[in-house]
Structure 1
Amino acid sequence: MRVLAFLDGTLADPDEAHIRVDDLGLLRGDGVFETILVTGGTPRELGPHLDRLARSAAMMDLPQPDRAAWERVTQLVIDNWSGGPEIAVKLVYTRGVDGDPNATPTGFALGMEIDEKVKRARVEGIAAITLDRGIDPGLAGRAPWLLLGAKSLSYAINMAAGREAARRGAADVIFTATDGSVLEGPTSSVIVVRGRTLYTPPATIGILPGTTQGDVFRAAERGGWGTKVEPIMVSELPSADGVFLASSVRKLTRMHTLDGAALPDSTAVHAELAELYDAQYR
């Protein structure tokens, strides 16, 4: 099942054509997006997602998103959903039609079912590989025009990384910087556990500020865990008590294998953190 609604509040048939072929989101990936998990009719981290949508739009010189309109269109999709208890709602905001200096941005929300493969990975964990992203941790500050840390529609590299992982018999990727430090996954944040403390890399190195990562940290802190935002080296991962990928749809997914080598069993750690994270939405 799918539900499609445009930013003006119009519901549309998702099986019909609606986007112009000269929309810059299609032609050049010139736009931004967010994906929100909805459970039992409640969107998770909606505020942080809309904050990040506005941040990404500002980085790309797009008009400031109308926050109230995005809240309404998200709720419109939720209200018209008649499928299962979980929905992935994708918010898409593009620059509009190519060649028109007065073009109105295109904005829509699409509600979709959660892939069964993603649901299995939440329970079973995944194997991942490390791939060099070809950037150093200071590049984002030196070259803001590269849009490192913006959630743009230009996802060709991220998708290529996923295909490379599949060729190597893995399900996902951890991108690394040229100094051997951890960046992020193609569609996720990295969380590392040592003892009773959670770690994640800082967004200032050119990665997305993770909405789910932030929510996991807040839930963990309420449960008595410590949290730190600081650089993580790839060499530290094999000895960690847990390595996880966090994103809206995958929630908190544990990594059991990295670059073909088994990681320490983090099943119990994952169960505790996943329970803390999910409990706040019951």
Structure 2
Amino acid sequence: MSRSARLVELDLPAREALLELAHQALAEWPTDVEGALRLVCTRGSEDGGPVTAFATLAPIGAGQLRGRREGISVATASLGVAADARSAAPWLLAGAKTLSYAVNMASQRWAGGRGVDDMLWVSSDGYVLEAPTSTLVWLAGDTLWTVPAASTGILPGITARWLLDHATDLGYEAGERMIRPAELTAVDGAWLASSIRGLAEIRTLDGKPLDPAADTARMLGLLGF
């Protein structure tokens, strides 16, 4: 949140105030129900004034839980820009987590209309970038990889980052590199990761089955899911 606020030049409330807001939302939440907590900050009234902050808490959807257990089907679609285009255009707010989710939701509706669970955006020069609400992670040999956020302008996912930072707990190295869709069908495992989804194994990509990954259960356990 702090990184995104800097990108949009938004002054956040004090960290302690945001933590208290989160604690208030969690206080009455049933412990046997998995929920998704969101903290939202806006600029406040149109005439200026202090930042408005609020929290929402809702159960994790059945589709997200099913994706963890059974894996997901994914289609690729063009984002319409080169892989490095957004990193050179800060006004596009690349890598900022904002309320501007219309394109993200439209992308997921497009995927659902084609009978798949999610989509992966692909750059105009042919590289996989990210999913509308998730980060791509894949295993090749003894290394867990993800797409570099700094050069592509994708959102640097917290869950994927934590997983790669703890890859040695699973006996793997970690790294960042670019990958094309055709290469992704030949890796040793591919997942979409997010704080709500957890980790969902990609079982098919553009209709092509991917070989089952061996470590999905261990990764979910490491992440606390």
Partner of 1:97: 45
Q: CA deviation at 1:224?
A: 1.5
Counterpart in 2 of 1:277? 223
Q: Structure 1 pair 83/277, CA: closer, same or farther in 2 (3 Å)?
A: closer
Residue 263 of structure 1 aligns with which residue? 210
SS of aligned partner of 1:88: strand
Contact 1:89–1:112 under 8 Å retained in 2: yes
User: Quick check: 1:196 aligned with 2:111?
Assistant: no
Q: Look up the equivalent residue of 1:249 and give its one-letter code.
A: I
1:193, 1:242 within 8 Å by CA — same for their partners in 2? Answer: yes
CA offsets per residue over residues 133-186 of structure 1, 9 Å max, x none? Answer: 112122223210010111110011101100110111101011111111111110
User: Normalising to structure 2: TM-score of the pair?
Assistant: 0.94
Partner of 2:167, secondary structure, is: helix
Given candidates 177, 181, 199, the residue that maps to 2:127 is: 181
**Structure 2 residue corresponding to 1:220, chosen from 159, 167, 179:** 167
Alignment partner, residue 186 of structure 2: 239
Describe the SS at the equivalent of 2:193: strand
User: SS of 2:212's equivalent?
Assistant: coil
What are structure 1's unaligned runs of at least 5 residues?
A: 1-52
Structure 2 regions of 5+ residues with no counterpart?
none
SS for the counterpart of 2:224 is helix
Deviation at 1:69, TM superposition (A): 1.0
CA contact (8 A) 1:193 1:241 kept: yes
Instruction: Give the distance between the partners of 1:90 and 1:188, measured in 2 at CA.
Output: 15
Q: Is the 8 A contact 1:220 1:276 kept in 2?
A: no
Q: Contact (CA 8 Å) 1:237, 1:243: kept in 2 or not?
A: yes
Pairing of 1:156-171 with structure 2 (within 5 A): 156-171=102-117
Q: Is the 8 A contact 2:33 2:59 kept in 1?
A: no
Contact 2:13 2:51 in 1 (8 A): no
* 2:12–2:51 contact (8 Å) kept in structure 1: no
Q: Determine if the alignment matches structure 1 residue 87 to structure 2 residue 46.
A: no
Per-residue CA deviations over 1:114-145 (Å, capped at 9, x if unaligned) read: 11221111100010100111121222232100
1:43 aligns with none
Aligned with 1:153: secondary structure?
A: coil
Deviation at 1:83, TM superposition (A): 5.5
What is the aligned-residue RMSD (CA, Å)? 1.5
8 Å Cα contact 1:185-1:245 kept in structure 2: yes
**Whole-Å Cα distance in 2 between the matches of residues 86 and 61 of structure 1?**
33
1:62 aligns with: 10
Which whole-Å CA distance do the structure 2 matches of 1:106 and 1:86 have between them? 26
What is the identity percentage for the equivalent residue pairs of Structure 1 and Structure 2? 39
AA aligned to 2:112 is: A
State the distance in 2 between where 1:141 and 1:258 align: 27
Are the counterparts in 2 of residues 57 and 65 from structure 1 also a CA contact under 8 Å?
no
